[in-house]
Amino acid sequence: MRPNPLRALKVAGTPILNAWLSIGSSYLAEIVAHGGYHAATIDRQHGMMGFDAALAMLQAISTTAAIPLARPSANDPAELMRLLDAGAYGLICPMISTAADAARFVAACRYPPAGTRSFGPARGLLYGGPDYAARANGEILTLAMIETREGLDNLDAVLATPGLDGVYVGPNDLALALGCAPVPESDDPVMTAAIERVRSAAAAAGKLTGVFCSGGAGAARRVREGFDLVTPGNDATLLKGAIAASLREVGAARA
């Protein structure tokens, strides 16, 4: 089976750069994945695409060195299994608030006896290789999103879930849950303490730590804080920023 290099990067202490794809376009996914990221995540929760578009995006990412990941719309075993069957090499599952949530998530991502994943890897075999079923449990990444007050309260129990590879902070939802403004790199002491609590607890448990960021500067800050995986904004935000910068340059020339 094709190895998952994100695991090796974590062990080596190399920051993992993760793209975030919210626009349902295989062409854009291919362009972004060629940009030098270690991984590219297709956002099925808030992204503007259906499963057919997500499948084409997974295929596009697979033409590059970036590892294809996905965020499902919910902790639904059927959707989790389908995304893995389509070739996702890891899932970032939203709204994990309890140990039971985490166990349900992990079980859907692992073949028996470690879990309850149904056999039918389809495109997983094409991307992963003929021994996919025998080795997938050891390569597929499972990252639980911590983005609720309950998830924060149950953090230690979530981290103790067998087979869970790590956690991923959803700073905007977590901020709303804690009564703070949804600013990814907020200096609000409540948010600063909450995010560091997640990071330090996960690191102490030997788990991968990930976080969504507002952009490159925010991602650099999180790397300095010790996060293993950072997402420097999503495709739509980066595209809007590039358009605005281009138009400012033209406007400056006409002034």
Tens digits of per-residue pLDDT, 34-82? 999 999 999 999 999 999 999 999 999 999 999 999 999 999 999 999 9
Q: Which of 148, 149, 115 is nearest to 133 (CA)?
A: 115
- For range 224-234, the mean pLDDT: 98
Q: Catalytic residue positions?
A: 46
Query: What pTM, to 2 d.p., does this model score?
Result: 0.96
Tell me, rounded to whole angstroms, the distance of Cα 155 from its chain centroid: 18
Residue 2's pLDDT band (cuts 50, 70, 90): very high
Distances (CA, A) of 70 to 15, 21, 45, 80, 243: 19, 9, 9, 9, 26
- What pLDDT shows up at residue 92? 98
Q: What are the tens digits of pLDDT across the range 115-159?
A: 999 999 999 999 999 999 999 999 999 999 999 999 999 999 999
